[in-house]
Amino acid sequence: MSILDDIVAAKRKRLERGEYGPVAKPAPRGDGASFVASLSEPGVRIVAEIKGRSPSAGEILPGADGRVETMALAYRRGHAAALSVVIEEDFFCGRPDWLPRAKRIAGLPALMKDFIVSERQLDFAVSLGADAVLLIARVLSDEELARLASAARDRSLATVVETHDAEEIRRAAGFRPDVLGVNARDLSTFETSLEALAALGPCLPAGPVHLAESGIRTVADVTRLRQAGFHAFLVGESLLRHEQPEELLRELRS
């Protein structure tokens, strides 16, 4: 089994235990249209991520639970377009309450980043105040992807359908995502290649926002991917490890 298989298996076990019911005190309801609109504005649009660790990099943000608000404030001051908050517990050490905490401080639309396989998780996202949810093409069959994308729209959640190769891009385009993400990181091996990501530019369909994900560290990376056809850029590890994430955000946006 790949790491991705392990993550999804753990997620299904949590669902079987009855987890991911709507929270007792729901956050203010999100707005998927605001997420898409923010990523569609002119200029370099950065989706700034909060996560504690990853299977490939290990710990990324030491003491993450105590630093959620600090990072959210830095992202607001650095003029990020949106937040991405990784809430997956078992492999990324995330926590669901990070999303409403970060959104309250940043005042930015927020993507709930998790491994979604059930509509129950969409209701959970709504109760957390998420504006958008991540649907990973490699995890879902065509039937599942169609059902979850439709269910997300019914809940006014924007859909970010994540892909990794040309075939997944072709599949995802058929489900009318609001945002089509292409991840430089192969979630089966967790290896990253910006070269492979840029090479997929000609495969990007007209319509959705094109979001480049993972491995973006410098202005040169952003420039190269913009030239390949990407509109927005999800940046996590480089911001989280930086001593002054606000300044790095400003630099990437320049």
Residues facing residue 213 across a β-bridge:
183, 234
Lowest-pLDDT range of 58-62, 76-80, 83-87, 184-188 = 184-188
- Separation CA 101–CA 246 (nearest Å): 18
| pLDDT at 189 exceeding the cut of 90 | no
Q: Where are the alpha helices (DSSP H) in the chain?
A: 3-16, 32-40, 68-77, 98-106, 119-128, 142-154, 166-173, 194-199, 219-227, 237-241, 245-253
| pLDDT at 102 exceeding the cut of 70 | yes
Superfamily of domain 3-16+30-252: Aldolase class I (3.20.20.70)
Single out the residue of 103, 133, 111, 120 nearest to residue 28, CA to CA: 103
- Separation CA 180–CA 162 (nearest Å): 6
DSSP H or E segment with residue 136: strand 132-136
Kindly state the DSSP code that residue 129 receives in the 8-state scheme.
T
In tens, the pLDDT along 217-238 reads 999 999 999 999 999 999 999 9
More confident: 118 or 56: 118
Instruction: Tell me the two tokens of residue 104.
Output: 């309250």
pLDDT attached to residue 192: 87
Q: At what angle do helices 142-154 and 166-173 cross, to 10 degrees?
A: 50
- Separation CA 30–CA 157 (nearest Å): 7
Lowest-pLDDT range of 2-16, 125-139, 177-191, 216-230 = 177-191
| pLDDT at 194 exceeding the cut of 70 | yes
| Position 186 confidence tier, pLDDT thresholds 50, 70, 90 | confident
Instruction: Tell me the two tokens of residue 66.
Output: 């105590």
Share of the chain above pLDDT 70, in %: 100
pLDDT attached to residue 22: 87
| Position 1 confidence tier, pLDDT thresholds 50, 70, 90 | low
Q: Give 44-103 as a DSSP string.
A: -EEEEEE-SEETTTEESSTTGGGTHHHHHHHHHHTT-SEEEEE---TTT---TTHHHHHH
Which residues does the annotation mark as catalytic? 49, 51, 113, 162, 183, 213-214
pLDDT attached to residue 128: 98
| pLDDT at 55 exceeding the cut of 80 | yes
- Check: pTM over 0.75? Answer yes or no: yes
In tens, the pLDDT along 138-178 reads 999 999 999 999 999 999 999 999 999 999 999 999 999 99
Residues facing residue 84 across a β-bridge:
49, 111
Report, as an integer, the average pLDDT of 99-128. 98
